Structure 1
Amino acid sequence: MRIFLSLFVLVTLANSSALIAADRPNIIVMMTDDQRHDFLSCAGHPFLKTPNMDRIAKEGFRYTNMFVTNALCAPSRATLMTGQYSHKNGVRDNLGTKLNPDAPWLPDELRKLGYEVAFCGKSHVPGHFREKTWDYYFGFRGQGDYLKPVIAESGPDGKIGPDKPYEGWMDDVVTDRAIAWMTQRQEGGTTKGKKPFVLFLFFKAPHRAWQPAPRNKDLYADAVVKKPALWDDPGAGKPRAFLQAANMFGQYPDTKDYDGMVRDYCRCITGVDDNVGRVLKALDDTHLADDTAVMYTSDNGFFMGEWQRFDKRFMHEPSIRVPLLVKLPKSLTGYRDGGSKLDPMVLNVDIAPTVLELAGGAAPAAMQGRSVLPLARAPRPGPVPPEGKPREAWYYEYFEFPDVSHNVNKHRGVRTTKWKLIHYYDPPFQFQNEWELYDLANDPEERVNLANRPAMKGTVKELQATMDALRKELGATDVK
C-alpha cells in the first residue's frame, strides 16, 4: 500500500506540472444537503428540472457511482474538508463530536499553494468553521432557517462578526455574498496579479423541513409523483436493526403527505439550481469560466419511500449515493469529452485530493482518498497507470447511536461493484451481529438479504476479510 501511495504521489506531481508552471485555475466546490444521486434531470428524473446542474455535467463529467463514507451531514462535510474518514477526522455524528485538530485541513493546504479561500453557507460541524482562517467567511450555525436566515460575515480584517438576520431565502442570500466576493476580487474586469481562489459554497437545501424559495412554491404542482417500486416492499429478511428505525413516512408531521413532500424537495433543489446558474453566469460575465474548475456534490443521499422510509444514515443505495459533477478549466487537456458519464466508484473522501491536484499540489499523506481526475482522462495506449485504476472495494461507517430522532444502529460495511455487506455491531445487544448481504449485480434495489443463506457463507467470509483489510488500512476503530 505504501508503494502504491508513493507511486500515486509521484504520478500526481508529474501530471500537475503543467498546472504549477501555468496560472492555476480557480476552483468552486458546491455542496447540497440531502440530494440523492438521481434527483437531477440529467440523471433521468421524470419531472425535476435542473438545467444548470446539467450544464456542469454537459461541459464536464458526471460520476455515476459517487458515494459518501458516512451518510450524515456533519461527518460528510468534515470528510470533504479533511480528506479523511469520520473515525479519523473526529466528526463522527451530528451530536457534537469535534474536528480532530491534527486532521489535514483542505483550505490550509490551498493557502499554502497561494490560493485565497472563501467559505459560504452551511458547515454543521461544531464551531461552524469559524475557528479556521478564511479570506472570506459567510456562514451560519447548525441547520439555519430557510427564510430570514441568521448569518455571520467576516470583515476586511478577516475577523468574523456577529450573527445577524437577512431578508430572503437562505441559499439566495448565501449565493449573493459568494458571487459578490468572487467578482469584487477583480479590478477593471481582470484578475491579473490576483491570487487564484477557491470558493466553498455549501447550500442548505434540500434539507428537511422543506421550505422552497417563494418564487418556486407552486412549481411542479401538476407533476405526477410516483412512489418508488420498493414502496410496498415490507423488507422481509432485513435485520431488526433496519426495521426498527424511526424513519417511516407518517411518523413525523412533515412526512405525512408524500406527494407534497416530494414536490417541496424538488422545489428546494430547483432553488439550488437557480443559484448554481447564477454562479455559472457570474463566471461567464467576468470571463472567469475558462479558468475555473467547478465541482458539485451533496453530503448524503435520501430515502424517498423505499420500504416507506425517508432520511439517510443507512448504507443502502438511496442513502449513500450522491451526485458528483466536475467541469474542468479549458487549460486542462487530455480528458474525455464533455458530457461523459464515468462509472468507477468514487467517494467523498476523494474530493480534497482532487481539489489539491487541480490546485497544482499533492494530497498530504494523512488524507485517505485519491483524486478522481485520472478516471476522467482520455484513454491512452499502454497499461493503465495505478492512479487511473478504479477502486475495487470501499468501507462505510456510521456511528450516531443512540440519538433522539431516528434510532439507527451503529453499523459498518463494505461495497464492491457486485456485493454489499452490512454489519450492525453495537448496540443494543439484541441487534448485535446482524448482517445484510446484497448481490448488486442481480439485485440493485437490495430487495433480497442473502446474509443468512448457507450457500453464501463463502461470499460473506470473503467480504468480511476485505472489510477487515480496509479497516486495517484506514486505521478504523470501534467508537463506544
Structure 2
Amino acid sequence: MKEPCMPNRREFVQGGLATAASMLAPIGAKAADAAAPAKKPNLVFFLGEGQRADALSIAGHPILKTPHHDRIGKEGVRFQNAFCTNALCAPARATALTGLYSRSTGALSNQHGDVPLPADVPLFTDLLREAGYEIAIVGKVHIRNGVEERNWDYYFGHNDPGNDYANPYFKEGRKGQVGPVQRFSNVYPDDLATDRALAWLDEDRGDKPFCLLVWFVAPHEPFFRPRRHLDLYNGIPIPKPATFDDDLKGYPGKPKSFGEGHNKIGTTNSHVACGSLEGMTKDYYAGLVAVDENIGRIFNYLEKKKILDDTAIVHSSDHGYFLGEWRLFDKRLMHEPSIRVPLQIRYPKRIPAGTLRDEMVLDLDLAPTFLDLAGVTPPANLQGKSLLPLAKQADPHFRDEWLYEYFEFPNPENVAVHRGIRTKRHKLIHYYKDQPEAFELYDLEKDPGETQNLYGRAEHAGIQQELINRLSALQKRIPVREGVLQG
C-alpha cells in the first residue's frame, strides 16, 4: 500500500500556516490582556555539532567543564532523554528547522548537498518572520544547500561539514540575498560566527523581536583547536570505554554489517584525526570548551543590554557521537551515544529554574517549541510537539515510542542503512538491506550499554514481535514525500 505523501504548499496554508492573525497571547495570560499582548520573547538557538548528551559538566562529565552551557539548564529546564531521529548532520538540521521527519522533507542524507529543501516546506524561522520577527543564522548551516534561498534578515553561514578551522570560509547575506564564498585568515570559525552574531544583535531593529540561530562547527572532525586551547588536557588520562575491545571478540551479538563499517578508531585512511582514542577525545572536548566560551559571549551581551530574561535560549545538538564505544567514531548508528543529544531551555518567564525531565523528547519537537515560545500557531502537520508544557508539569505519556531512520549508503564510513523503534525500555534496530536481514534488540533498563542482543532468543519472542509490529505501524503513520524513498 502506498504511503501518504506530504501536503503541498496550499495544503500547508489551509492547515494553519502562521499569519499575523494567528499569533496567540502567551500561555497563562489573562483574558483582559488579549487586547494588548505582552511583547514576544527574543529567541536564541544554540545548536551543537555532534555534541553528546553527556558532554556537559551539568550532566556529570568528569573532565569537560561547560559553565555557560550549564547555565541554560540550571536556570531553566534540562531534558535527560533527548534524541535525534536521523543521526547525520544535514537531515538532523533539516528536522530541527521543519519539525518533520527526514522521509517527509526528502532531506535523507548529506548527499546531494546542492539541492535545497522543498519550497513548500516552511522552516519555523519563516513562520516567525511572517509573525514579525527578524531572523538570522550564523555558523555551520549544512542543510541541503544551506537553505540560502530562504529570506533571512541576516545570513553568515557555510555548508561544509567541518569547514577550514585555520582559514574558514562563509557566505554572507541580508534580506534574502546571499553573496559569494569569502575566505577569512587566521580566525577560528566559531569565534568569527559569534562576532557576526553579536554585531547583528547590536543593530537597531526598533521594537521587533529577534530569532538568532548560532550553529557551531566545533567539535567536528578534524577537531582543530583554537590557539588558546592547544595545551588543554595535557596529562589528563582518558578512560577506555568498556566495549572498546569488542572488535577483538568479533563484536558479539552485533550484525555482520556492524563490524564491516569503516568508522573504527585507528584504521581509516580518510579520517586521520581519529587515529587514537586519546587524541580524538581530547580534541573533541577542547572544541566544546571553545563553544562554551562563545555561548558565554552571547550571554554577556544579553545581560549587558538587560534583555537576558526577555530572551528564550535553547541549546541542543544535531546528533551525538561515538567516543570509542565499540572502538567507533562518528555517529549514524542507532546506538545511544549516537542518537542521544543535550536539550535545555532557559526562559524564566515560562520555565522554572532547575527543572529536570525524563520524558523522551526529539529534534522534531524543536520547531513547535520555538513557535510556542513566540505565540505562533504551528502548522497542523508538524510531527513533533512543544516541550513547554513539560517545563511546568511532568507527563509520563508525553511520548511512548518513536521512529529512527538512517539512509546514507554508500558513505565514507560504510555504515549500513537501518531503521528502528525506541520505547522507554526497549530498542529494536532493523538492518533491512542486509543479506539476510539483521536485527538488534535491547532491554535498555537492564542493559543500557547495549551489549546483550536479545533478538532471536525464545524468551523474548513476545516483545520482539510486538516491536516489529509497532515499528511497521510507525512507518505507515509518518508521511513520505513523493519520490523520496525507493524500496
Give me the TM-score of the superposition, normalised by structure 2. 0.88
The alignment partner of 2:332 has SS state of coil
Q: Does 1:41 align with 2:51?
A: no
Alignment correspondent of 1:196: 209
SS at match of 1:209: coil
Q: Which residue of 1 aligns with 2:253?
A: 237
CA–CA separation in structure 1 for the residues paired with 2:329 and 2:69? 24
1:101 aligns with 2:119: yes
Which residue of 403, 411, 422 maps to 1:395? Answer: 403
Q: Is the 8 A contact 2:42 2:311 kept in 1?
A: yes
Partner Cα distance (1:433, 1:208) in 2: 32
Name the SS of the counterpart of 1:303 in structure 2.
coil
> Once the two structures are aligned, what percentage of the paired residues are identical?
45
Unaligned runs of 5+ in 2: 1-14
Match of 2:145 among 127, 151, 162: 127
2:101 corresponds, among 85, 109, 113, to 85
- The whole-number CA distance in structure 2 between the counterparts of 1:212 and 1:362 is 42
In structure 2, C-alpha distance between the alignment counterparts of 1:415 and 1:44, rounded to whole Å: 24
Distance 2:24 2:466 in 1: 35
Check if 1:409 corresponds to 2:416. yes
Contact 1:248 1:310 in 2 (8 A): yes
Match of 1:58? 74
How many angstroms apart in 2 are the aligned matches of 1:14 and 1:462? Answer: 43
Maintained 8 Å contact 1:104/1:364: no
Aligned to 2:145, what secondary structure does the other structure show? coil
Q: Does 1:367 align with 2:382?
A: yes
Alignment gaps of 5+ in structure 1: 1-5, 187-192
Cα distance, 1:464–1:111 mapped onto 2, change above 3 Å = same
Question: SS of 1:162's equivalent?
Answer: strand
Runs of 4+ that moved beyond 3 A: 12-20, 476-480
Shift of 1:17: 6.7
Conservation of the 8 A alpha-carbon contact between 1:146 and 1:211: yes
Q: C-alpha separation between the residues in 2 aligned to 1:478 and 1:47?
A: 43
Report SS of the residue matched to 1:220: coil
Aligned partners of 1:366, 1:212: CA distance in 2, in Å? 41
Asked if structure 2 preserves the Cα contact closer than 8 Å seen for 1:375 and 1:389, the reply is no
Alpha-carbon RMSD: 2.0
Deviation at 1:222, TM superposition (A): 2.2
* Corresponding residue of 1:145: 164
CA contact (8 A) 2:372 2:386 kept: yes
Q: How does 1:115-264 map to 2 (within 5 A)?
A: 115-143=133-161, 144-155=163-174, 158-167=176-185, 168-185=187-204, 193-233=206-246, 234=249, 235-252=251-268, 253-264=272-283
1:105 CA drift (Å): 1.6
Matched, 1:338 2:389: no
Q: For residue 236 of structure 1, what is the amino acid of its counterpart?
A: P
Give the aligned residue type for 1:270.
V
- Alpha-carbon displacement from aligned partner over 1:324-367 (angstroms, at most 9, x marks no partner): 11101x332xx4x4122211000001100000000101220121
Q: Partner residue of 1:295? A: 314
Residue 48 (structure 2) aligned to one of 27, 32, 44: 32
Aligned equivalents of 1:478 and 1:453: distance in 2? 32
Q: Which letter maps to 2:408?
A: E
How do 1:452-471 residues align onto structure 2 when only pairs under 5 Å count? Answer: 452-471=456-475
Measure, in 2, the Cα distance between the counterparts of 1:255 and 1:127. Answer: 27
Offset at 1:104? Answer: 2.6
The answer on whether the counterparts of 2:366 and 2:384 sit within 8 Å (CA) in structure 1 is yes
